[in-house]
Chains A and B, each alone.
Chain A
């Protein structure tokens, strides 16, 4: 049975789409048949990050409205086997999403995929609710600053009370914390909340810490999920995150300031 995982945050710009793209790619690289769905109808971004924007013909809303079949809308990823993208519509708005339609599309995808990753839009309105409603597990992407943490807290409350699992009194949605854009130097200086600060407020298990890194922006602009840039710190952190999600034990990295060696100090990176 396929697992549905929502990548959500409440707040915008914290790294939901970056995380969705790398997380889905990581699952596929490890041999799991994965589809990643863009729920941000009207503000389509996932296709850019995945580098498939020129291959979008049909989209999620077309499938919901029975104007195209799932297979017509699914885009096969060019970087790895096992990975498909279901893009959002750019010309519609979130009202095009409705529970029955989304349920039907997810049920159909469940037949042939191991993991369904739902990239949620920001906010707590219709698009975000639709992305969350059917989830079995949730990656809550949070930046180490107070407004992001509060929004994540709100989202956790909604997952616990308004998701399908909550409404049907099933086992609750399994929650994972993804702390992104983490800068240990700034935490040390006291400008940024630490991992412990965030954990204390949100009180959910930590799946991964993604360091603030120039490689994220470079990857986004070139349409290659950052997890494929294995040499980069953010790419490595997403690799660890996926491994942990699949049950491996890996220590958390990038939590403290890297001590620069003598030569590094002399010559830089």
Chain B
């Protein structure tokens, strides 16, 4: 048994921990570089700023056996030209895995089916954003005037999320910045989703299932919180989640 002092003397300079991230996935259907370039330019033009420095995973599940013909290095260059940061490939052939290793990007575990299951959710979020965002958005800020219903997910990458309606139980709202809810928060709210510890959550009535800032989370129950049903802000101090009443 060594005394505790000994261990702290040569403590590891870092911690290695697993963490979950929401990543943008590029589901490839064809390998024609010109077509990819054209469609990518269109997409980026629709929402300039939205794709800047966004990490993206290339998923080859939708390709036939022809993905050996995919010019991965060319694709990576193309993505970078448009501001995206390719970080890995998924569901690729052996040749493609080798190409990914050569290009210095990661190989993600096969997610057969999972990519497809996530799609409707993303489509829902996209449809929601079309309906909800009438406001001019600076950075990735996002405004929704509709209630966020059970099963819906709303994400504001690179910005704040402002919600004028209720967040229902079973709904999830995420932002890389702050989350402002001008109504009751009854579902899950995750601010600072990419690790911004300065992010905060504000709501008019705290009835949440879970709140999280930069990965520090807490599940809430009615009986366990003196702040239940009250207007609060939630922030991080010394790596602890602090809930406090909003000053009147």
Measured CB to CB, the residues of A under 8 A from B are 150-151, 153-154, 156-158, 160-162, 166-167, 169, 172, 201, 203
Contacts and interface: CB of A to CB of B under 8 A. Distances in A.
A140 to B, nearest CB: 11
Given A154-B151, A156-B149, A157-B152, A162 B168 contact: no
Contact of B147 (A150, A158, A167, A203): A203
Interface in B135-156: 146-152
22 contacts: A150-B150, A150-B170, A153-B149, A153-B150, A154-B149, A154-B170, A157-B148, A157-B149, A157-B150, A157-B151, A160-B127, A160-B149, A161-B127, A161-B128, A162-B120, A162-B127, A166-B127, A167-B127, A169-B130, A201-B168, A203-B165, A203-B166
Contacts of A162: 120, 123-124, 127
Contacts of B215: none
B131 interface: yes
Contacts of B165: 203
Given A150-B150, A154-B150, A203-B147, A160 B128 contact: yes
B55 interface: no
A166 B120 CA distance: 14
Interface string B171-209: 100000000000000100000000000000000000000
Contacts of B128: 160-161
A26 B169 CA distance: 35
A172 B186 CA distance: 24
Contacts of B169: 150, 153, 201
A166 B129 CA distance: 11
Contacts of B130: 169
A161 B124 contact: yes
Interface in B98-135: 120, 123-125, 127-128, 130-131
Contacts, number: 56
A203 B128 CA distance: 17
The 3 closest A-B pairs by CB, nearest first: A157-B149, A153-B150, A161-B124
Contacts of A203: 147, 165-166
Contacts of B150: 150-151, 153-154, 157
A160 B123 contact: no
A153 B125 CA distance: 16
A153 B131 CA distance: 18
Chain A CB within 10 A, most for which of B127, B130, B148 = B127
A14 B73 CA distance: 56
Contacts of A156: 147, 149
Contacts of B120: 162
Contacts of A157: 124, 148-152, 168, 171
Nearest to B169: A150
A203 B149 CA distance: 11
B118 to A, nearest CB: 15
A203 B150 CA distance: 13
Chain A CB within 10 A, most for which of B120, B130, B147, B171 = B147
Contacts of A150: 150, 168-170
Contacts of A169: 130-131
Chain A CB within 10 A, most for which of B123, B146, B165 = B146
B131 A160 contact: yes
A11 to B, nearest CB: 12
A167 B123 CA distance: 9
Contacts of B146: 160
Nearest to A160: B146
Contacts of B186: 201
B208 to A, nearest CB: 14
Contacts of A153: 149-151, 168-170
Contacts of B127: 160-162, 166-167
A155 to B, nearest CB: 8
A60 B170 CA distance: 35
